[in-house]
């Protein structure tokens, strides 16, 4: 894998602006421009911060189209999560994204379902499931890399270490984003780090410790509203900056919904037209 595919720095998982019951494309592009003007290295769309489980299949496809059309050519990394509730949905979204010019990587978890669901539909492990996804992608002769996504809050358990090891040997897989909040697990992941395999922290409370471990970067929802601060934190974070980050994380905890807080701040700052959460 060429070094240009290496994922590093600050990647911002974008919110889904919602206005009068619909996806607000205007605000989405506006906040994307704000993120990139703040110096972020890339964006990730359709993750948990985008309220993915609430989005219809058609809205997911629409968001992928907007990402490719609005941000291609900026020299920034464009990542999209293509997780579905079934293998068919994941493969369809993956092929849709892979066919778009400018998409740098697909971000895939072993389904947005309890981990035992894999077994119930005939897959013994994340390796088997993702091998099937890769097989479908390769059958269409597309070459977009894949970033693994570990989020036990959504799948009920971490991707087992033996599965990560096996998947890391697949040339198409270029790293893992870990949102577990488990520093012991993240520390183990760091043993897998290489020039071809990036380790990204996805839990903001653990950014400081992860940078001390020399993680390649982090994926931070706060980048939607504080992109320049998060970039400075990555490049030269000091004790005061990490205290500020701690206060931001505490605010999310107190509210019980980080996305709600981010949208309220983004609306107050004029970045989006409405603080509405995605509605079914």
> How far is it, in rounded angstroms, from Cα 136 to Cα 58?
21
Q: At what angle do helices 126-139 and 87-98 cross, to 10 degrees?
A: 40
pLDDT reported for residue 141: 79
pLDDT digits (tens, 9 = 90+) for 140-158: 877 789 999 998 877 677 8
Close Cβ partners of 3 (under 8 Å, ≥ 6 residues apart): 195
For the chain, give the percent of residues with pLDDT over 70. Answer: 92
Question: What superfamily would CATH give domain 3-268?
Answer: Aldolase class I (3.20.20.70)
Candidates 138, 56, 147, 139; CA nearest to 103 is 147
Mean pLDDT of 42-68: 95
Q: Is the pLDDT of residue 129 over 90?
A: no
pLDDT reported for residue 269: 97
Higher pLDDT, 112 or 142: 142
Mean pLDDT of 127-139: 84
pLDDT reported for residue 1: 35
pLDDT digits (tens, 9 = 90+) for 144-200: 899 999 988 776 778 889 999 999 999 999 999 999 999 999 999 999 999 999 999
> How far is it, in rounded angstroms, from Cα 182 to Cα 201?
10
pLDDT reported for residue 121: 61
Q: What are phi and psi of 109, to 5 degrees?
A: -105, 165
- How many separate helices (H) and strands (E) can be counted in the chain? 12, 10
pLDDT reported for residue 174: 96
Mean pLDDT of 101-123: 70
Mean pLDDT of 30-58: 95
Q: What is the pTM of this model?
A: 0.93
Provide the phi-psi class of 141: left if phi over 0, else alpha when psi is between -120 and 50, else beta.
Answer: left
Tell me what the pLDDT averaged over the chain comes to.
91
pLDDT digits (tens, 9 = 90+) for 230-263: 999 999 989 999 999 999 999 999 999 999 999 9
Residues in the chain: 280
| Domain boundaries, given as residue ranges, for the chain | 3-268
Q: Is the pLDDT of residue 51 over 60?
A: yes
Q: Which parts of the chain are beta strand (E)? A: 9-13, 18-19, 22-23, 42-45, 77-81, 105-108, 146-150, 173-178, 198-201, 217-219
Name residue, tokens 């001390």. 212
């Amino acid at each position: 894998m060429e070094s240009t595919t290496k994922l590093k720095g600050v990647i911002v998982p974008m919110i889904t602006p919602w206005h009068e019951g619909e996806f607000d494309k205007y605000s989405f592009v506006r906040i994307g421009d704000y993120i990139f003007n703040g110096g972020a290295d890339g964006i990730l769309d359709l993750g948990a911060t985008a309220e993915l489980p609430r989005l219809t299949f058609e809205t997911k496809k629409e968001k992928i189209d907007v990402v490719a059309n609005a941000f291609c050519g900026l020299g920034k990394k464009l990542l999209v999560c293509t997780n579905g509730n079934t293998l068919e949905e994941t493969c369809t979204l993956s092929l849709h994204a892979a066919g778009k010019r400018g998409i740098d990587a697909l971000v895939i978890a072993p389904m947005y379902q309890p981990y035992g669901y894999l077994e119930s539909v005939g897959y013994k492990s994340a390796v088997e499931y993702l091998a099937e996804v890769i097989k479908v992608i390769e059958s269409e002769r597309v070459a977009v890399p894949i970033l693994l996504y570990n989020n036990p809050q959504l799948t009920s358990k971490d991707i087992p270490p033996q599965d990560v090891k096996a998947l890391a040997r697949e040339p198409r897989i270029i790293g893992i984003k870990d949102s577990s909040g488990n520093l012991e697990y993240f520390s183990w992941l760091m043993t897998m780090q290489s020039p071809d395999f990036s380790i990204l922290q996805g839990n903001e409370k653990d950014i400081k410790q992860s940078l001390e471990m020399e993680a390649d970067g982090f994926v931070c929802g706060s980048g939607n509203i504080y992109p320049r601060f998060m970039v400075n934190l990555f490049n030269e974070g000091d004790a005061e900056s990490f205290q500020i980050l701690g206060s931001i994380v505490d605010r999310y905890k107190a509210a019980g919904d980080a996305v709600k807080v981010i949208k309220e701040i983004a609306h107050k700052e004029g970045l989006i037209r409405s603080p509405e959460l995605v509605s079914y």
